[in-house]
Amino acid sequence: MSKKYEKNVISTTKPEMTLGGRITQLRIDGGYDSFDLSKQLGVKLETYESWELDRSEPRINKLVALAAILGVSPTYLLAEEGHKGISKAKKTSSHNKNKVIVLQQKVLFLEAQLKENLKQLKKISRDINNL
C-alpha cells in the first residue's frame, strides 16, 4: 500500500463478521444443518435462513437458545465478545452435547416460567393492596 493511502485506512485487521455470518460459521463449525437448527429453535426454516443472511434478527429468547445450542454466549453472537465456545480439543461427545442442550433448554423454560410467576405474584400483591 502506498504511503499516500495509508492515512485513509481505519484498520488493517479482517472486517468484523455480521451476526448472520457468526451464526453461519458457528453452525458449520458445529456440524449442524440449517433445517435441524430451525426445528430445535421452533422457527420456520425460512426464518432461520433470514438470520444467517442478515435479513432479520432473532428475538432475544431465540438468540439465547441459539447461543446455547451453538455453545457460545449470546454476547458472542451479538458482538463477537464473551464466551466463544468449547475448543476443538475439549469438545464433548455428541451424547454429552445433546444432554447440555436439553439442560440449557430446561433452564430457559424455567426462567420463562419464573418470569410469568413473578408477573402473577405482582398482580396478586396489587389486588391485595387494593382491598
77-94 pLDDT tens trace: 888 776 565 444 344 456
The x, y and z cell numbers of residue 90, run together, are: 475439549
Cβ-Cβ contacts under 8 Å for 109 (sequence gap 6 or more): none
Q: Is residue 98 part of a domain?
A: yes
Q: Is residue 4 part of a domain?
A: no
Q: Is residue 120 part of a domain?
A: yes
State whether 76 and 100 are in the same domain: no
Q: Is residue 6 part of a domain?
A: no
Determine the structural domain holding residue 73 and report its residue range: 12-84
Angle at 38 between CA 34 and CA 51, to 5 degrees: 75
Boundary-marking domain end, from 66, 84, 102? 84
pTM of the model: 0.55
State whether 65 and 46 are in the same domain: yes
What percentage of the chain exceeds 90 in pLDDT?
30
pLDDT exceeds cutoff 60 at 127: yes
Q: Specify whether the backbone of 71 is left (phi greater than 0), alpha (psi in -120 to 50) or beta.
A: left
What percentage of the chain exceeds 70 in pLDDT?
73
State whether 44 and 70 are in the same domain: yes
State whether 59 and 103 are in the same domain: no
Torsion angles phi and psi, residue 97, rounded to 5: -60, -40
State whether 26 and 70 are in the same domain: yes
